[in-house]
Amino acid sequence: MWKPGTIHHSFQEDAFSCGVFVMQMAKQVVEHFPNIPESINIIPSKEEMCHIRKNVAKTILQASVSRDEYCSVCGQKDTKDQTEELCTWVQCELCQRWFHVQCLEINLPPKEEPWICGLCL
């Protein structure tokens, strides 16, 4: 049976971090289940909000279904650059995800050097 209640919590300091707060609050409630936390403390600083957003994006990417057919940056299978040539791909040595070199805006690493993506670093 559900009972209404209040969980004391910190508040966002800006007008655009509501979603971050809701996700973090839900996460903490789920982690404590079946108990209900008495309070939830989320550091509302701009830096912390940025850090949480990056972690959420990383979690979503790591849980993505297909790693072999799509670029992990743009989500496209194959795309053409300005010269109408197919994009060059690079694979992360650790997570095995594929990326268009053009989407990463990097120079292609030498073949003998392993390349590690930003998610794994």
Mean pLDDT, range 25-45, rounded to an integer = 90
**Confidence band for 48, pLDDT divided at 50, 70 and 90:** very high
pTM score, two decimals? 0.50
Going by CATH, does the domain composed of 66-121 fall within 3.30.40.10?
yes
Report helix, strand or coil for 9. strand
Q: pLDDT tens across 78-100, in order?
A: 765 555 566 788 888 988 888 88
Percent of the chain topping pLDDT 90: 16
Three-class secondary structure assignment of 82-114: CCCCECCEEECCCCCCEEEHHHHCCCCCCCCCC
Residue 105 has pLDDT above 70, yes or no: yes
Q: Where in the chain is the domain with CATH 3.30.40.10?
A: 66-121
pLDDT on residue 42 = 92
